[in-house]
Amino acid sequence: MKILISLAFLSIMIMIHEVGHFLAARSVGIFAEELSIGMGPRLLKIPGRETEYSLRLLPIGGYVRFLGEDEESDDPRAFNKAKVWKRIVTVVAGPLMNILLAVLMLTVSSLTFGIFDADLPIIEDVISGYPAEKAGLHPGDRILSVGDMDVSKLKDSEAVQKIRSYINENGSDPFQVILERSGQTKHLKVVPSYDKENNRYQLGFYFKVRTRKPGFLKAIAISFQQTFQMIGMMLAALKDLIFSGTGVNGLMGPVGLVGEIGKAAQAGIQQLLNLGIVITINLGIMNLVPFPALDGGKLLLLVVEGLRGKPMDQSKEGFFNLIGFVLLMILMVVVTYKDIIRF
């Protein structure tokens, strides 16, 4: 059941992307022969008035097949006959739909669950096996001081910032935590552990957060702002992925995504929404990478065509996209293999 939910969730993300291409093409008069969700052998075919709709076996993508995209056509509605700006609109619409989906999901999340307002110096949860649990810290404890630093009179967010800084800067040395529990003051001794992955010291607990529910228009404005912030972070991560030597170790394929979606679904609708936001923005950004067979590769060729004033030879463009597709499939196999080993 978890796998089915995960596949359905991932398919919706892909479908939104492809529907973006499809609707944009129709709006500028380009004819779509087929709209497919998934790749590989066809499982289901639904004939439309003109366009054929398909569901295919492998949930690793999807596509819209346009008349005249891979071969010459004299039909005035063919992709190759459309003006460059119309084809650019059609190509960009897919990633744009993913970005707009993220804004919609963030808006729904804000209106339903509220948005972050401030951290509170109160323990929300304690991670099993970490120093906080070993020292006897409990959910609901309010931290009054760490070491020789009193935070009880500070504003909530400032107190949390001071506590985090103290834990990290103190290193591995033991220190005393004074806290309030059910109206009583407790004195506990803790010994931080070192988190190699994040290069910091930690106790292993989460702070409680205060949320607030914005109005509808405010929620939309905040959602756009958060989406652009996330795009910036993902572009920075993409740059690190390409230039830091991380390679495929930093990527996750369909198997990994299904696993993560399943975990988020078990954790609750809010976690599932949050993961969906990250996935849909990633789909949009990654598709704009100027690589053959991706939207970014097609966009690059269209920009070159616009500057040259004439299209690239269709056989060369087809070969360019074929090489890109083969490389993407090889990458997908490698990433999927690593996903299977990891999970």
Residue 185 in tokens: 């003051």
> 271 in helix, strand or coil?
helix
Distance CA 25, CA 91 (A): 9
Letter string b/e over residues 139-170, b meaning 16 or more CB atoms within 10 A of that residue's CB: eebbbbbbbeeebeeeebbebbebbbebbeeb
Q: Catalytic: 18? A: yes
Choose, from 18, 33, 169, 180, the residue flagged as catalytic.
18
195: left (phi over 0), alpha (psi -120 to 50) or beta: beta
| DSSP symbols for 91-133 | HHHHHHHHHHHHHHHHHHHHHHH-EEEEEEEEEEEE-TTSHHH
Distance CA 325, CA 319 (A): 10
Burial of 95 (C-beta count, 10 Å sphere; 0-12/13-18/19+): buried
Letter string b/e over residues 231-268, b meaning 16 or more CB atoms within 10 A of that residue's CB: beebeeeeeebeeeeeeeeebbbbbbbbbbbbebbeee
Which segments of the chain are extended strands (E)? 32-47, 52-66, 115-126, 142-146, 149-150, 175-181, 184-190, 193-195, 200-202, 205-212
Distances (CA, A) of 328 to 118, 287, 293: 42, 12, 8
Distance CA 295, CA 259 (A): 26
Looking at the annotation, which residues are catalytic?
18
